[in-house]
Copies of this chain bind each other. A is one copy, B any other.
Amino acid sequence: MTDLRALVLVCTLKPSPADSSSSLLGTQVLRELEQHGVTGEVVRVVDHQVRFGVSTDEGDGDEWPQLREKMLASDILVIAAPIWLGQPSSVCKMVLERLDAELSETDDEGRMLTYGKVAAIAVVGNEDGAHHVAAECQQALNEVGFSLPASGVTYWVGEALGSTDYQDVTPAPEQTTSMTKTVAANTAHLARVLKESGYPAV
C-alpha cells in the first residue's frame, strides 16, 4: 500500500550542491517513511526564491506557491532544520511564517486545509539546541493546523562546543537512527488514520 505522500523541506542556509547535514537527516526520514507506504520528495528551500512574508503568495517571482502546492498535495510535512546559536535557522522561520497564511485558508466548514496533515521534525547541529528547535517548529506547525505523532522528532547534536557535522559521524549514531525509524512509523500511522477519519467540523 503506497497511499501517502510526504514533503521534506530542508531548511539549511546553504544552497545546493553544498553538503548539508539537515538534508541528510531529512532524506533519512523519507527513506524510513518509504518503509511504511509513503512516497515523497526532498526540497531544499534556499534553492528556490522564497520571499519573506506571511501570505500564500508574495508576488515578485515568489516561489513559495510551488512549494505550497507540494505541501497541500502531501499528507506529511517533514521540517529538517539546522541549529544556529541554539535556535532554528532563519530559513526554517521563513517557512513557518509562510505557513502562517494557512490560518486563513479554510474549507467551507472553517477547517484549515492543513487539517489532517501530520508534521514530523528532524534537527541537526554541531552541538546543543535540538529540543528548542523542535519546540519552535512543533508549536508553530500545530498552530497552523498540523497534527503531531507520538515521539515526532529525530535529532543529532554533538558534545558542548563541538564542531563535528552529523554527515561526518561514522558509523551513523545508533540512537538517532533508531529515533528516525520511530518517527517515520508513528508519522505514517497517524497520517493514515487521519486520512481515513478526518477532523469533524466544529
A189 and B197 CA atoms in complex are apart in Å by 9
Q: Most chain-B CB neighbours within 10 Å: which of A90, A162, A181?
A: A90
- Known: A13-B52, A147-B147, A147-B148. Contact between A85 and B131, CB under 8 A? yes
- Known: A114-B150, A176-B160, A189-B199. Contact between A131 and B138, CB under 8 A? no
The range of chain A's interface size is: 35 or more
Instruction: Judge whether A186 and B157 touch: CB under 8 Å.
Output: no
- Nearest 10 CB-CB pairs, A to B? A86-B131, A135-B139, A90-B93, A132-B132, A90-B94, A148-B148, A161-B175, A13-B52, A135-B135, A85-B140
Residues of A within 8 A of B (CB): 13-14, 46, 52-54, 84-91, 93-94, 96-97, 100, 112, 114-116, 127-132, 134-136, 138-140, 142-153, 155-162, 173, 175-176, 179, 181-182, 185-186, 189-190, 193-194, 196-197, 199-200, 202
